[in-house]
Amino acid sequence: MSPRLAQRHVLITGAGGGIGLAMAEACLAEGARCSLVDRADEAPAAVQAVMRQHPDTVAYIGADITRSADIARLLHTAIGRFGPVHTLVNNAAVFDLAPLLDSDEASFDRLFAVNVKGLFFVMQAVLRHMVEAGTQGASVINLASQAGRRGEALVSHYCATKAAVISYTQSAALAMAPHGIRVNAISPGVVDTPMWAHVDSLFAKAEGLPIGEKKRQVGLAVPLGRMGRPDDLGGACVFLASDEARYITAQTLNVDGGNVMS
């Protein structure tokens, strides 16, 4: 059997490490060519290691998705290297938390600039390209979160941004259905990535906890008994990008160990 993503071009934002890079590795294992986008001008060490393993099928592009010129450049660069994009994995995101009454405008602007504005305009640019190119089997996978399924007292802005991701996924799926382009989302739960050190420290400060205690608590609370790992997301990404999901659109797939039942 041929790999499920053989010769397909997958563009992944927020791919400098963690979930984004794990999804890239899963796609590469299924025959994809991957354009990996992150904020750093030079590829992070973890990306360089993957590039050494796949020198002909991985390219790195440094870009800030909150800037329209960067979005145009990253797409032009990706197409120039690997041809038309078959799947966009819209993964780039930032996190912050604060008590509702203390939350400031700077945090709001930063979270919505990346998690909503950046995600939407990357998606719009790639979808326009897919329509113009007539790419067969084209799809978009947006990264939502269990935080988008409910509010949280300390995480109001982040929850709102991820709820917006789910909403934009549904709207884009309906808009793109006449073109045969599928748009879905993945909703991770708590995933043990390097970012969790930052998240844990924020919760420790806000809730008066020792460092590491919030991480321990959330892992124990997962029905499957542990936090997720980045590679737990790879299978869902490959599935939604492949022809196996050809009749699935406008859906948000929970990959969270049972935290959210919907």
3-state class of 144 per DSSP? coil
Q: Which of 60, 158, 168, 247 is catalytic?
A: 158
227: nearest Cα among 160, 162, 146: 146
CA distances from residue 159 to 81, 85, 115 in whole angstroms, order as listed: 36, 29, 10
**DSSP assignment string, 112-142:** HIIIIIIHHHHHHHHHHHHHHHT-TT-EEEE
- The edge-to-edge listing of strands for the beta sheet with 87-90 is 58-62, 33-38, 9-13, 87-90, 139-143, 182-188, 252-255
CB 186 within 8 A of CB 143: yes
259: nearest Cα among 221, 208, 207, 233: 221
90: nearest Cα among 124, 128, 137, 57: 124
The one-letter code for the residue type at 116 is V
CB 240 within 8 A of CB 184: yes
Let me know if 247 is a catalytic residue.
no
- Per DSSP bridges, beta strands 252-255 and 87-90 are unpaired
CB 227 within 8 A of CB 191: yes
Catalytic residue IDs: 158
